[in-house]
Amino acid sequence: QVQLVQSGAEVKKPGASVKVSCKASGYTFTSYDINWVRQATGQGLEWMGWMNPNSGNTGYAQKFQGRVTMTRNTSISTAYMELSSLRSEDTAVYYCARVNIYFSDGMDVWGQGTTVTVSS
Amino acid sequence: SYELTQPPSVSVSPGQTARITCSGDALPKQYAYWYQQKPGQAPVLVIYKDSERPSGIPERFSGSSSGTTVTLTISGVQAEDEADYYCQSADSSGTYKVFGGGTKLTVL
């Protein structure tokens, strides 16, 4: 079945970087954009940016520009989100989500989430 | 930066109709989407393109749009519908996506 499986939880110190992976299966990875969304504990969803796995083109939310990098490895159908200069406010669950043009660019498949904890 | 505004909470009794609104200046130009999120789970798309429902989503979920406000309506609310609901859209240029702050639906 169609699914996105994310890497496991991470604990990082302030100032470090984290790289979260998102492995796609059950569909053609290069045919659908991947978006990244995060959610701090008890808070709402926050959109971080998008990546086109076919071209590698990306677009980032203004809040994260300069700190986030979204990449992919098409040979293993995996997308990555790297966030640098981590601070405590980056502690959150990070989700990858597939964007489906058949749903007018709605996010129809989500990963299970990766918890990133930033603590000294 | 562009914002979508939702009420923090809505409460209804089982069998009643719940309406959750989402307001934003660019909504007349950009599609809206609605996601349901239950505790400890990833969000699920329940409405796309303002009012379309993906297959597998119960017919009691519907969406509508009027000017700068979109509305998610859940008719005949069931206990299993208790969740957080988020609207999502984009700024007027379509460059940046944004989520509303979320609405907690409580089934009394």
**DSSP calls for A21-68:** EEEEESS-GGGS-EEEEEE-TTS-EEEEEEE-TTT--EEE-GGGTTTE
Which residues share a beta bridge with A16? none
Q: For residue A103, what pLDDT is reported?
A: 87
What is the pLDDT, as a whole number, of residue B69? 98
Q: What average pLDDT does this structure show over A104-109?
A: 94
Q: Are B63 and B8 in contact (CB under 8 A)?
A: no
Most A CBs within 10 Å, among B20, B48, B65, B72, to test the A interface: B48
pLDDT band at A55 (very low <50, low <70, confident <90, very high): very high
How large is the average pLDDT for residues A47-54? Answer: 98
The answer to whether A44 contacts B101, with C-beta atoms less than 8 Å apart, is yes
Q: What is the b/e burial string over B46-78, where b = at least 16 CB atoms within 10 angstroms of the residue's CB?
A: bbbebbebbeebeeebbbebeeeebbbbbeebe
Residues of B in contact with A95 (CB under 8 A): 42-43
Q: What is the CA radius of gyration of chain B?
A: 13
Question: Contacts of residue A107 in chain B, CB cutoff 8 Å?
Answer: 33, 35, 43, 45, 88
Task: Give the pLDDT mean for A67-75.
Answer: 98
* pLDDT, chain A, mean: 97
Binned average pLDDT, 10 residues per bin, chain B of 108 residues: 96 98 97 98 98 97 97 98 98 96 97
Residue B53, SS3 per DSSP: coil
> What residues in A contact B98, CB-CB < 8 Å?
47
Question: Could you tell me which residues are beta bridge partners of residue B9?
Answer: B104
